[in-house]
Structure 1
């Protein structure tokens, strides 16, 4: 279905919905309340990056839709930075930093070849290596691998499957 979208308007509507679904899942309270991800700008960004990796690597889409999804995510990052008071003069510099962090996380998750490697990458990124959070990092890694297997974009909506348990 997603690979058959031809018109720019169809792609735009789809991408906005996919981005909204991705962001909604990344903001699920279980990550913050039960799994100890910091409810901060960094914690939220890291969860969006993790869910973007799940979608970009698992959902069967065209390169055009994938790039449009990344573009839409960066528009939301820019809106967030503007909401924090970043003006036009500092925006390019800050977006370069965000882009480096985003693509660095995608690369870390893509290069994780097994559960242990993914859990270690999640522990570094989501928890910044804070002691005592190895178990929640592993639970999120299990969730992410399961979500990669079952994530679908039926009817233009993302379904990641069940939320992580701990």
Structure 2
């Protein structure tokens, strides 16, 4: 009987992967790289994916329905399962995968925390500081027009996700607004 538990899927696993894939598609929009000049590197891509996923998880955690938190965990799990797979496909050895994934988790967690307070307070300047520091690794000041535009896009995406019903998210459907305007 206990053996069957090994083959059971986790709650919301499929929807978590679908939502994660939607966040990745949003993060890969060419506008970020061509117009805003986000570095099209592993770090730049990781930062944009992390930003979109952090917004999605923030939305799910703000829901009073306990399924929101469970779905947020499923999105998080999907992200780091994907990171593990990508590292393996890039040829990272099995012995160092766990350490690299842990470092990525810590980086993601730190960024999510850095974005949470400014988003909750509606503090554009603090969010711009965090985005300049993380996405551009401090090579652009927070007052740079590209940083200001990403800050606006982030607040817009946060509001758009907040307006989406939990039932749609539970079905694996989320909509990120187009970053161009």
Shorter chain as normaliser: what TM range? 0.7 to 0.9
Match in the other structure for 2:92:
86
Deviation above 6 Å: which 4+ runs of structure 1? none
Distance 1:32 1:137 in 2: 12
Q: Equivalent residue of 1:130, what SS?
A: coil
* 1:116-147 alpha-carbon deviations (Å, 9 max, x no partner): 10011000100011146721111111111111
**Which protein is bigger by CA-based radius of gyration?**
2
| 8 Å CA contact retained: 2:132, 2:147 | yes
Does 155-164 or 35-44 show the bigger shift? 155-164
CA RMSD, aligned part only?
2.0
Unaligned 5+ segments in structure 1 are 1-6
1:63-142 matched pairs, under 5 angstroms: 63-112=69-118, 113=121, 114-131=123-140, 134-142=144-152
Match in the other structure for 1:58:
59
Unaligned 5+ segments in structure 2 are 1-7
Q: TM-score with structure 1 length normalisation?
A: 0.87
Q: TM-score with structure 2 length normalisation?
A: 0.80
Count matched residues. Answer: 159
Distance 1:37 1:93 in 2: 26
Q: 1:9 to 1:102 in 2, by over 3 A?
A: closer
| 8 Å CA contact retained: 2:20, 2:75 | yes
Distance 1:129 1:164 in 2: 24
| 8 Å CA contact retained: 1:139, 1:164 | no
